Amino acid sequence: MNILVCISNVPDTTVRIKLADNGATIDNTGIQWIINPWDELALTRALELRDDPSSGVKQVSVAHVGLVGSEPTIRKALAIGADNAYRVNCNPADAFQTAACLTSIVKNGSFDLVLCGIESSDYNGSNVGGMLAEMLDWVSVSGVSFLKVESGSITVIREIDGGRETLQVQSPCVCVVQKGIAKEPRIAAMRGIMQARTKTIAVSEWNGTESLTTVASYQPPKARPSCKFFDADSPEKLIEALQNEAKVI
Amino acid sequence: MAVLIYAENWEGKFKKLTFELASYGAQLASMIQTQLVAVSIGEVADEELLKLGNYGVSKVISLNHPQIQSFDSRQITRAIAQVAEQVEAVALVLAANNSGRALAPRLAVRLKAGIASGVNQLPTSISPFVVSKKVFSGGAFASLTFDTRVKILTLLQNSMELNEQIVSCTIERFEPTLDGGLTSPKVLESHKHAGKILLSDAEIVVSGGRGMKSADNWAPLLELAELLNAATACSRPISDEGWRPHDEHTGQTGKIIAPNLYIAIGISGATQHIAGVSSSKCIVAINNDKSAPIFESAQYGIVGDATKVLPKLIDALKVIKNK
C-alpha cells in the first residue's frame, strides 16, 4: 500500500501576522515557514505505519502545490522520512486550485490512501482534502483522529458531535485528519536531514485550472477593549459585570 | 432560484445551530431577493421539520434514503447536489462543524461553486459577492470574492443571532439517485460521551490551564461550570498530561469555539490557545500573572491564584443565585 500525504507550507504559528500594502497582502518579511501542523501529524502517522511491517504500507510520499521557494519545507518532510516528494509549480489562489493540482499527482501515481490535514493554519479553509476526494470520485472520511492499517485494511476513528465512530474504509480513499492522529510530530534525525538534501523533488507544471475565489484584501483583527480588572477579594463585582454589563449570565 | 441550507438533525431533532443557519440563510436570501429552502436528511418528523418555518424557511426538502444511513460524505454530497440543482440554489449554507466540513468542499467541486469556510457574518456585498472570514487562526480577516454563479458558505456556530421570521412552510419528499458504485465506510462501533454539554453548543465555557496546578484541583472548576450550566474545557498541556479528556482541548489544534462567555482559569493565553477562543463574545481571565497575554484578549480579569479565587467566585455566585 502507498500513502500520499498532502502538505502545505505555512508561516510559523507563533508569529503575529502583519499586513502590507494597506491590507492588499500579507507581510512575508522575516516569516519562518513550516509544514502545516496538521499535515505534519498526518505525515508522522503515515511514517509510523510504514515502519510497522504488519501494516502493509510500503512507501510514503508527500505532495505540495507551491513555487520553488517552498522546497525547504518539502525537504523537511523528506528529512522526517518521506520516501518521495512531488511539487506542482503553482502558487494557488484558493483550495480548489490546490486540489486540482494535487489531483494530477494522485492520478499519475498509484496511491491507495491520501492523507490531508483538516485545515491549514494560514487560511483555515478545511477544503483541500474534501475537494480532492470529490475530484477523484473517491470515498473520504473527515475528522479522523485515529488511523490503523493492517495488511492493507484501513480502520479509522471519526470524531462526531459528542462522540466518535470507528469505521472500516476501503481503499483508495482520502482521510482528512485532525488532532489525535499522531501524538507528536516526528523530528528529523541528522541522517534524515543529510539524505533529504540529495533526494529528488519531482516537479510538474500547473495544469491551468483557475481558482474559484480570490482574496481581495485583508483586514486586521478587531481591536478588543482593554481588560477591566476586579479585585480577587470582590468576585461579586465580576459577577455583577457579567450579568448587567456584558449580559452573558 | 433559492438559498439552500443543510438543516442537520441529531437523532431526528434540530439544535439551536440549525436555526442559526436558517436565520443566516433567511437574511442572505433577502439580500439576494430569493427564497430560503432547507434540505434535511434522515428520519425527522414533520412537526420538527416545520419548525424551520419559524425562521424563514419556505420549503423543506426531506430525504430518507436507505443508502444514506451512515455518514458517507460522497453519497450525501450527491444527494444534496441533486436537491441544489432542483431548487436552482445560488447559495448553499452549511455549519462549519464536522459534517459541514466533510460535505461543503465536496459540494463545492460538484456544483463548481466557490466556497468560504468558517464565516461569522453575512456577505458585505452581493454583486460582486464578497464575504469576510478569519484567517491565520484569527490573526487577520480576509475578504473573499467569488467568481462563480453558485456560492457555498460554512457558518461558525454561535455567530448568528436567532431571528424569528414565521413564514408558511411546505415539506417535499425527495428521492435522490445514488450509485452503488463504491463501498460506503462501514461503522464498526459508535461511542457517545454521555451527559456532558457539548463544548461547541455551550453558551458558557469554563476552562482550566496550568495555573490550576494539579488534576486534583479540578473539583471547584467543575462546580463553577455546573452553577453556570457551562461546558468544561482546557488548554493543550492539560489534555496532553491527561488531566482532562482530549475533547476538552480548546485551541488552534483542538476545538475552536465561540461561546457567549469563556472563563479562562490559570491559562496564560498563548497565541495558539487564543486562536481557539477569540470569537467568544466575552472572555474572563483569572491568572496569577498580571502580564499574562490572556489579559490582552480578556474583557474582565482577576489577578490571583486560580485555586484561591475559584472558591470565592463560587461562593459569590451562590449568594447571587439565591437572591
pLDDT digits (tens, 9 = 90+) for B45-73: 999 999 999 999 999 999 988 778 778 99
Question: What is the CA A29 to chain-centroid distance, rounded?
Answer: 23
pTM of the predicted model as reported, rounded to 2 decimal places:
0.94
The count of domains in chain A is: 1
- The percent of residues in chain B predicted with pLDDT above 90, rounded, is 87
pLDDT for A211 beyond 90: yes
Å between A190 CA and nearest CA of chain B? 27
E strands within chain A? 2-6, 9-11, 19-20, 25-26, 33-35, 59-65, 84-89, 113-117, 139-150, 153-160, 163-169, 173-177, 201-205, 213-219, 228-230
Q: What is the DSSP letter of B170?
A: E
Hey, are the CB atoms on B316 and A235 less than 8 Å from each other?
A: yes
Q: Output the pLDDT for position A223.
A: 84
Query: Is residue B289 predicted with pLDDT exceeding 80?
Result: yes
**Closest Cβ opposite residue A167 in set B186, B203, B228:** B186
Q: What is the pLDDT of residues B75-99, one digit of tens each?
A: 999 999 999 999 999 999 999 999 9
On whether residue A7 sits in a domain, the answer given is yes
| CB pair distance less than 8 Å for B135 and A124 | yes
Q: Which chain A residue is nearest to residue B305, measuring alpha carbons? A: A232
pLDDT of B315 higher than 90: yes
The answer to whether B22 touches B36, Cβ cutoff 8 Å, is yes
Judge whether residue B195 has pLDDT over 90.
no
- d(CA B45, CA B22) in angstroms, rounded, equals 18
Query: In CATH, what number is assigned to the domain containing residue A69?
Result: 3.40.50.620
Band (pLDDT 50/70/90 cuts) for residue B297 is very high
Domain borders along chain B are 2-173, 204-322
Q: Report residue B196's pLDDT band, with 50, 70 and 90 as the boundaries.
A: confident
pLDDT for residue B68: 81
pLDDT digits (tens, 9 = 90+) for B200-209: 999 999 999 9
pLDDT of residue B70: 77
- Check if B2-173 and B204-322 are the same fold: yes
Residue A242 lies inside a defined structural domain of this protein: no
The pLDDT value recorded for residue A162 is 82
Whether residues B253 and A19 touch (CB distance < 8 A) is answered with no
Q: Reply yes or no on whether the pLDDT at A61 is more than 90.
A: yes
Domain range for A48: 2-224
Q: Is the pLDDT of residue A35 over 80?
A: yes
Residue A177: per-residue pLDDT: 96
The stretch A152-176 carries a mean pLDDT of: 94
Q: Do the domain assignments include residue A91? A: yes
Instruction: Tell me what the pLDDT averaged over chain B comes to.
Output: 94
pLDDT at A182 over 80: yes
Residue type present at position B214: S
* Helix ranges restricted to H, chain B: 16-32, 46-49, 73-87, 98-110, 218-227, 236-240, 271-277, 294-297, 306-322
Query: What confidence tier does B247 reach under pLDDT thresholds 50, 70, 90?
Result: confident
What is the rounded CA–CA span in Å between residue B99 and residue A161?
A: 9
How remote is the C-alpha of A210 from its chain's centroid?
22
Report pLDDT digits (tens) over A68-96: 999 999 999 999 999 999 999 999 999 99
- Please, is B65 exposed, middle or buried when counting C-beta atoms within 10 Å of its C-beta (0-12, 13-18, 19+)? middle
Predicted local distance difference test score (pLDDT) of residue A86:
98
Rounded Cα distance, B207 and B290, in Å: 18
Chain B residues touching A239 at Cβ < 8 A: 313, 316-317, 320
Q: A187-220 in b/e burial notation, b at 16+ Cβ within 10 A?
A: ebeeebeeebeeeebeeeeeeebebbbebebbee
- pLDDT reported for residue B295: 96
Of B77, B246, B301, the CB nearest to A227: B301
DSSP state of A242: I
Over 90: is that where the pLDDT of B292 sits?
yes
Contact at CB, A213 and B144, closer than 8 angstroms: yes
Q: What percent of chain A has pLDDT over 90?
A: 86
Q: Mind listing the pLDDT tens digit for each residue in B95-125?
A: 999 999 999 999 999 999 999 999 999 999 9
> CB–CB of B105/A134 below 8 Å?
yes
Give the per-residue pLDDT at B180.
78
Rg of chain B, C-alpha, whole Å: 21
What is the reported pLDDT for A229? Answer: 96
Residues of A in contact with B200 (CB under 8 A): 161
- Class at the top of the CATH hierarchy for domain B2-173: alpha beta
Helix A95-108 and helix B98-110, axial crossing angle in degrees, nearest 10: 80
pLDDT band (50, 70, 90) for residue B182: confident
A188-208 average pLDDT score: 93
Residue A13 has pLDDT above 90, yes or no: no
pLDDT at B246: 86
Q: Is B317 in contact with A166 (Cβ distance < 8 A)? A: no
Contact A249, A239 (CB under 8 A): yes
Q: Which residue has the cell 509549480?
A: A89
> Among partner residues B105, B272, B320, which is closest to A130 by beta-carbon distance?
B105
Residue A248 in any domain: the answer is no
- Name the band, by pLDDT with cuts 50, 70 and 90, for residue A248: very high
Q: What topology does CATH give the domain B204-322?
A: Rossmann fold (3.40.50)
Task: Tell me the chain B residues in contact with residue A143 when contact means C-beta distances shorter than 8 Å.
Answer: 98, 101-102
Higher pLDDT, B150 or A151: B150
Give the pLDDT confidence score for residue B10 in this predicted structure.
Answer: 92
Question: What is the value of ipTM here, to two decimals?
Answer: 0.95
Which residues of chain B does A162 touch, with a Cβ-Cβ cutoff of 8 Å? 192-193, 196, 198
